[in-house]
Amino acid sequence: MKVGFIGLGRMGQAMARRMLDAGHDLAVYNRTAEKAKALAEAGAKVMGSVAEAARYGEAVVTMLADDAALEKITAQKDGLLQSLPKGSIHVCAGTHSVEIIRSLDAAHAKAGQRMVASPMLGRPEAVAAGQAGIVVGGAAESLACCRPLFEAIARRVFEAGADPVTAAAIKIANNFVLGCAIEAMGEGLSLVRKYGVAPQVLYDVMTDGLFAAPAYKIYGQIIVDETYEKVGQMAVLGLKDANLALAAGEAVGVPLPSGNVWRDRLVGAVAHGDGQCDWAVMAREQARASGLV
């Protein structure tokens, strides 16, 4: 498939590389051109603008950090809305609010374009290894057209529904559950530490029993080892996700009380200078609250 790709952060790099390795004809664009160097060496074509990437192929994929970045590259002069050919597909792969996905879907439809939401389920290293999932939402014919891209990136494709908003809602809900699980582990590990127990013991108990799942194994070990500098998801982006979850719940009258605790731990972590650490660093914030730091 001939496709453009915009946004070459750690997740975008991993996704684009898998598309290349699967044989897709890929053109990439990033505001910081240096980030495209390795992909260019692997066979990707480097575009000089959003417009060039949008016009390159049958679809353009965006993998951007937040709503502000997405809005900028879509609405700006020579952005996606102006540049994407009629009938072409915008595959929106970032974690974004239901509001912007809804409004952007409508804007693309008005311009004669198509949109698919396709947020990733997994850390960048899982994407690079082909072990991540992807949840997709959009019209059936658009999803079928992009299926080769999805299968190149992920081990499993979850179809959410015909409305791109459905994929955004699942991604937000999934991050909500994961974020709250990490926060709860931080509480439990602080509790045993106050009783003089090595945190590795609780980790072993959890992951050998009811919590023998990747989320608990991966993030639990990060907390035990305090290796917060090995970043999968930055705390500042975790805070963005917490705010997205609370806003999504408020919009449809769903209270998310655990989300407030999750968000507050991230607010504290960012305030203490840990915003660029892995979002599991919220456990350090719990340790501070417990008098352990």
Tens digits of residue pLDDT in 203-231: 999 999 999 999 999 999 999 999 999 99
Q: Which of 106, 94, 39, 91 shows the shortest CA–CA distance to 69?
A: 94
d(CA 24, CA 228) in angstroms, rounded, equals 35
Domain-wise residue ranges, the chain:
2-162, 169-289
Nearest in space to 149 (alpha carbons), one of 60, 71, 68, 88: 60
Query: Would you state the pLDDT for residue 153?
Result: 96
Fold match, 2-162 / 169-289: no
**Which residue, among 65, 66, 112, 121, has the nearest Cα to 89 in the 3D structure?**
112
Q: Could you tell me which CATH class the domain 2-162 is placed in?
A: alpha beta
Mean pLDDT of 168-188: 98
Residue matched to tokens 């390159």: 56
Using the 8-state DSSP alphabet, how is residue 209 labeled? T
The rounded percent of the chain whose pLDDT value lies above 70 is 100
Q: Are 119 and 135 in contact (CB under 8 A)?
A: yes
Token reading at 153 = 């990136």
Beta bridge partners of 117: 92, 137
Residue 244 near residue 97, CB atoms below 8 Å: yes
The pTM for the full model equals: 0.94
Determine the Cα–Cα distance for residues 29 and 79; give it in Å rounded to an integer. Answer: 12
Gyration radius (Cα) of the chain, Å: 20
Beta bridge partners of 195: none
Quick one: 119 exposed, middle or buried, by C-beta within 10 A (0-12, 13-18, 19+)?
A: buried
Residue 239 clears pLDDT 90, i.e. is over it: yes
Average pLDDT, the chain: 97
Q: How many Cβ atoms from other residues are within 10 Å of residue 183's Cβ?
A: 25
The structure tokens 């949008």 sit at 54
Mean pLDDT of 178-201: 98
CATH 1.10.1040.10 corresponds to the domain 169-289: yes
Q: What is the mean pLDDT of residues 37-46?
A: 96
Q: Has 171 been annotated as catalytic?
A: yes
Q: Tens digit of pLDDT for each residue in 55-103?
A: 999 999 999 999 999 999 999 999 999 999 999 999 999 999 999 999 9
Give the pair of three-digit tokens for residue 40.
């260019």
Residue the block writes with tokens 């050919």:
85
In 3D, which of 177, 145, 156, 187 has the Cα closest to residue 289? 187
Confidence of residue 33 (pLDDT cuts 50, 70, 90): confident
Looking at 35, 86, 110, 171, which residue is catalytic? 171
Provide the pLDDT confidence category of residue 105 given band limits of 50, 70 and 90.
very high
CA nearest neighbour of 7 among 53, 75, 55, 42 = 53
